[in-house]
Structure 1
Amino acid sequence: MYDYIIVGAGSAGCVLANRLSEDPGVKVLLLEAGPSDWHPFVHMPAGLAKLVGQKGVNWDYNTAPEPNLDGRSLWWPRGKVLGGSSSINAMCYIRGHARDYDEWAALGAEGWSWDKVLPYFKRSECNTRGASELHGGDGPLAVSDRLHENPLSPVFVDAAAQAGFPRNEDFNGPRQEGFGFYQTTTRKGSRSSSAEAYLKPVRSRKNLSVVTHALASRVTFDGERANGVVYSVHGRGAYCEGASREVIVCGGALNSPQLLMLSGIGPAEQLRAQGIDVRVDLPGVGANLQDHLDICTMQRCTQKLTYDQASDVMVGLQYFLFKQGPGTSNIAEAGGFLRSALAEDERPDLQFHFVPAQLDDHGRNVMPGYGYTVHACFLRPRSRGRLSLVSANPADKLRIDPGYLNDADGFDLKVMVEAFKLSRKIFAQEAFAPYRGEELLPGAATQSDEEIVAFIRRKAESIYHPVGTCRMGAANDPQAVVDAQLRVRGVQGLRVVDASVMPKLIGGNTNAPTMMIAERAADLIRGRA
């Protein structure tokens, strides 16, 4: 019998395993469906480009055909490995805008306003710039400035300044708007995933057990109280472990709602259709799905400066022998945040990631020659999607209907058009003149708004930030799945702790906020918040 069972050793689960096992008087079991994070490309920052093809560390999801994106099925990579998506992402350390969290609180997530969450961001962070009013200096999660810089990354920042946009040395500082270089979750040139930062240092604790290749099939109950988890290992067996205090689901925005539904918690009609007994009819499970939709603009580079044709052997030798060179780069070294002409308040509504390489179809379409790419995404989409079970088999993937661009008045698409035009404006500046070749995506022939819309429908992709499918809210909110303490409604001893509880997308990358959620959840569970 364990005190706590944590399902999912991702960005949130590893944080909780660390914090809850600090008490030697409790026993913690951490279950992870994927393998250990042994692969060298997990730890080499630039290895993220190679992880695209590593099926063993990726859930490798695909969406249902998207009606507003030419009927395409979009690829959704999610981490299936110790550290979860923090082990395969681009490591950009972004918290979002302070007002994002005040908005959460206004939506019923009491205790999650900016002044309440900032201490947990700081507790998590070990910033190489040192501690300050807004940053932590001695937390588990390493946050660093770049060790390597492609020559085109500062060109991008200069071009943005030439286009009339401000510079910004700290996107997590007093203001978010502007262009500069991303700080990354890296330590001395190596990835600082949640597994590396939180789990590895405490793996030897006698009160902490970690099981990999463990796929949870359902949560068990004694009356209304969650009391255990049933799971298989390597697809075999049916193990059941008990939890005397709580079961904590940390599977992420896709797997957490799936496990709740498999356990009888979710939309009653959908559960009955799959032959699952309904324990709690919660229509919000799997609903409220939100993601950042992203459009890439790409140009040919006339000089051989990009990462396109880098020698894997030389990059690897330089990295593994000396922890130097391009291998230490997160590839998306520079970027920025802007308020478009359509911004609805003082917060930036667009985010940009510059990649000194040709990046098409998540890097899966390898192109000849040299080029550079800028991602642009709308940070506050109105569109909503949902998840659905396809069967009662936990090994069967969910149906993912992201609902991209399905808002009633077409506002999301209008902002995406603005995002593309601003990307093209930055690339047109004098700073890029010595390097600028032909425009590869979408191509110079695309000029009218109608042509830009057609390009977005043909090429837009996820930038990997799904949230909201077990969202927290007030007691009178019929769509809320968990309360502000992250406790699942209608049962006892069961919480969800991960990006699925976010009521709305934050304005930026979602990894650091997910770790913050887990830091605060640990205090809630232990009665310290």
Structure 2
Amino acid sequence: MTSFRRDRAFDYVIVGAGSAGSVLAARLTEDPDISVLLLEAGPPDDAPELDVPVRAPSFLDGRYDWAFRSESEPGLGGRVITLNHGRVLGGSSSINSMVYLRGAATDYDEWAAAGASGWSYREVLPYFRRSEDNDRGPDTYHGTGGPLAVSDGRSRHPLSAAFLAAAQQAGYPLNPDLNGATQEGVGYAQVTQRLGRRWSAARGYLHPNLCRRNLTVTTETHVLELLFDGNRAVGVRAAQSGRVTDYYAEEIVVSAGAYGSPRLLMLSGIGPAAHLETLGISVRQDLPVGLNLQDHLRVGMCFESTVPGLESSLTPPAFAEFEQSGRGPVSSNVGETSGFIRSSASLPQPDWQVNGVPARIGGMIGIAGEGVSLVGWPSKPTSTGSVCLRSADPAAPPRIVHNYLMTAHDRRVTCDGLRRMREISEQSAFREVTTGRQFHGPESWTDDAILRFARATATTTHHPCGTCAIGGVVDPELQVYGIERLRVADASVLPSITRSNTNAVVVMIGEKAADLIRSEHPPIAAPQREAGMEAR
């Protein structure tokens, strides 16, 4: 039988200990007079395998993953796809591929021009720099001394080098810093690692500070709903081990991600009125919560290689090398290289992101032979979907439909982008490491054939965002319209998707949100290096 109790009040309750939630908890508790409760639905991040970069794909669909299932996707021939999303201390930063990319400067300037005041590139760059401890050292675009370790990867697989050489032969410039003065070009992407091991947001921001008396972290705690006094948020109702508890605070921050944050708001009566009324949920505030869902749709090609791929490199000596020095193939994040190119030469800026992967896509079970893959996606898609409730039951997974490939723009860029990847695969540097046999790709290069291939094989790149967007659900200070003392801070607040992977962006959001909440800009203390107590 479920028990129920009331707990003491805090200054802030943060729902979700992912990238943004971890940052917020650490930054807010720098003031010893401020108390913070951080609630995470998943388990602690204390398993040693989480720190081993090459193991990242094995965490998908496991205990650290929400593993949501989409609804039937109309643009993918009705396919249902798995939507992986971190469910562990550190959130997706504890299970992702550790790619550190920020997007283009124009992403943020477009937000500001559309009404997101304070979010231009010039205004967010200091938060990126403040978060970083970049092993390249400080410069105009990068910082040192921050909690988030950012480094050059310690694995440079020969197949990754072949991709970069072939891309340059195809006319795409080498870019040594894809987060620097310009995004265009190809190069080795930096990663969130320290000495070859994963460095999640929890590792950098939370672990050094778990000993703070004013920070309480609880894991395996599922938040059921928000609590209100009129139109003011005053607390949350949460369940842990069959016990339901109400926690009260001066302010609530929801950082449960692009799927979880809209679900919690709608369960609490904040969302599209017509949708909530059909489920018998009393409407507290009619807002477009759950709409504007955006993501990158990944399409890949795979070729038989003459050079052993990453999987074959994971030998006992390679694991020994990793344990001794943090180097070698075990330190690989799998997608070691990235690039931003134009699907058409007439475009003003890149619209296609391409990655060289020194392995077969998804393992390609049942196919013999070594492999190397090229994967890519439209970096600024225009298709949008939604997150809705399945029922008023907090335990029910949400209904998610991304509507991938539902706009002519996305279909055109996908066709043209795959043709650009084909051009790269035809260069001599790539052919020197392949046999010419294609494991995975379109049957021909007509638009119809490419789209058939994409609809049958494409999948998420795990970059969902936009479901509680600035200007629609929250204001530029991240406060929910019409509700006092309630903010959202995570990928869901992006007005539009960035032209890149999104984890670095979410860390920046956490940094900026902390200053917005404090309403001042105190100096930031240097981060501690040692991990503190484990999550309570």
Normalising by structure 1, report the TM-score: 0.94
2:221 aligned with 1:222, yes or no? no
- Helix, strand or coil at the partner of 2:311: coil
Q: Is the 8 A contact 1:41 1:51 kept in 2?
A: no
Q: Is the 8 A contact 1:41 1:50 kept in 2?
A: no
**Alignment of structure 1 residues 80-95 onto 2, 5 Å:** 80-95=87-102
Distance 2:229 2:10 in 1: 15
2:327 aligned with 1:328, yes or no? no
Aligned counterpart, 2:489 = 497
389 and 342 in structure 1: CA distance in 2 versus 1, 3 angstrom threshold: farther
- Helix, strand or coil at the partner of 2:380: coil
> How far did 1:325 drift?
1.9
- Helix, strand or coil at the partner of 2:515: helix
Please point out which of 257, 262, 270 is paired with 1:265.
270
Aligned counterpart, 2:469 = 471
Aligned counterpart, 1:337 = 340
2:26 aligned with 1:23, yes or no? no
366 and 389 in structure 1: CA distance in 2 versus 1, 3 angstrom threshold: farther
Distance 1:240 1:431 in 2: 61
Aligned counterpart, 2:284 = 279
Aligned counterpart, 1:316 = 319
Q: Which runs of 5 or more residues in structure 1 are unaligned?
A: 474-479
Aligned counterpart, 2:199 = 192
- Helix, strand or coil at the partner of 1:123: helix
Aligned counterpart, 2:244 = 238
> How far did 1:314 drift?
4.1
> How far did 1:106 drift?
1.2
- Helix, strand or coil at the partner of 2:74: coil
Aligned counterpart, 1:476 = none
> How far did 1:154 drift?
1.0
Please point out which of 271, 288, 293 is paired with 2:292.
288
Distance 2:79 2:316 in 1: 36
> How far did 1:514 drift?
0.6
Aligned counterpart, 2:13 = 5
> How far did 1:449 drift?
2.2
- Helix, strand or coil at the partner of 1:308: helix
> How far did 1:367 drift?
4.2
Aligned counterpart, 2:124 = 117
Distance 2:243 2:281 in 1: 21
Distance 1:431 1:2 in 2: 59
Q: Is the 8 A contact 1:358 1:367 kept in 2?
A: no
Moved more, 262-271 or 367-376: 367-376
Q: Is the 8 A contact 1:7 1:216 kept in 2?
A: yes
Residue type of the alignment partner of 1:30? L
Q: Is the 8 A contact 2:314 2:330 kept in 1?
A: no
Q: Is the 8 A contact 1:343 1:349 kept in 2?
A: no
Distance 2:142 2:23 in 1: 18
Residue type of the alignment partner of 1:201? P
Question: 1:357-412: CA deviations, max 9, x gaps?
Answer: 0013xx574743210111111011111101110011122110101011122xx111
Question: 1:85-133: CA deviations, max 9, x gaps?
Answer: 1111111111111111010111111110011100000000111010001
- Helix, strand or coil at the partner of 2:467: coil
Aligned counterpart, 1:527 = 519
Question: 1:208-261: CA deviations, max 9, x gaps?
Answer: 000000110101011211111101114x12111110x21000001000000000
Q: Is the 8 A contact 1:308 1:369 kept in 2?
A: no
Distance 2:257 2:275 in 1: 20
- Helix, strand or coil at the partner of 1:504: coil
Question: 1:182-222: CA deviations, max 9, x gaps?
Answer: 11011111111100010011011010000000110101011
Question: 1:125-173: CA deviations, max 9, x gaps?
Answer: 1110100011111111111012121111111100001111111000011
Q: Which runs of 5 or more residues in structure 2 are unaligned?
A: 1-8, 522-536
Residue type of the alignment partner of 1:241? Y
Q: Is the 8 A contact 1:471 1:503 kept in 2?
A: yes
Residue type of the alignment partner of 2:302? M
- Helix, strand or coil at the partner of 1:254: helix
- Helix, strand or coil at the partner of 1:155: helix
Distance 1:150 1:196 in 2: 27
Q: Is the 8 A contact 1:33 1:214 kept in 2?
A: yes
Q: Is the 8 A contact 1:178 1:338 kept in 2?
A: yes
> How far did 1:321 drift?
3.9
2:353 aligned with 1:351, yes or no? yes
Distance 1:112 1:448 in 2: 41
- Helix, strand or coil at the partner of 1:324: coil
Distance 2:236 2:156 in 1: 46
391 and 315 in structure 1: CA distance in 2 versus 1, 3 angstrom threshold: farther
**Alignment of structure 1 residues 108-257 onto 2, 5 Å:** 108-234=115-241, 236-243=242-249, 245-257=250-262
Aligned counterpart, 1:477 = none
Q: Is the 8 A contact 1:97 1:176 kept in 2?
A: yes
Aligned counterpart, 1:71 = 78
Q: Is the 8 A contact 1:264 1:276 kept in 2?
A: yes
- Helix, strand or coil at the partner of 1:411: helix
Residue type of the alignment partner of 1:359? I
365 and 29 in structure 1: CA distance in 2 versus 1, 3 angstrom threshold: farther
Please point out which of 480, 483, 495 is paired with 2:475.
483
Distance 2:365 2:262 in 1: 32
> How far did 1:313 drift?
4.2
Q: Is the 8 A contact 2:314 2:329 kept in 1?
A: no
Distance 1:366 1:203 in 2: 46
Q: CA RMSD in A?
A: 1.4
Residue type of the alignment partner of 1:291? D
> How far did 1:462 drift?
0.9
Distance 2:67 2:345 in 1: 34
- Helix, strand or coil at the partner of 2:50: helix
279 and 121 in structure 1: CA distance in 2 versus 1, 3 angstrom threshold: same
Distance 1:343 1:500 in 2: 32
Distance 2:245 2:349 in 1: 48
Q: Is the 8 A contact 1:308 1:371 kept in 2?
A: no
Counting aligned pairs with the same residue, the percent is 45
Distance 1:70 1:321 in 2: 48
- Helix, strand or coil at the partner of 2:19: coil
> How far did 1:324 drift?
2.5
- Helix, strand or coil at the partner of 1:91: coil
Aligned counterpart, 1:49 = 57
How many pairs does the alignment contain? 512
Moved more, 306-315 or 480-489: 306-315
Residue type of the alignment partner of 1:470? C
178 and 320 in structure 1: CA distance in 2 versus 1, 3 angstrom threshold: same
Distance 2:10 2:364 in 1: 43
Residue type of the alignment partner of 1:293? L
Q: Is the 8 A contact 2:51 2:198 kept in 1?
A: yes
Question: 1:340-369: CA deviations, max 9, x gaps?
Answer: 21775x331111111100013xx5747432
- Helix, strand or coil at the partner of 1:57: coil
Q: Is the 8 A contact 2:309 2:372 kept in 1?
A: yes
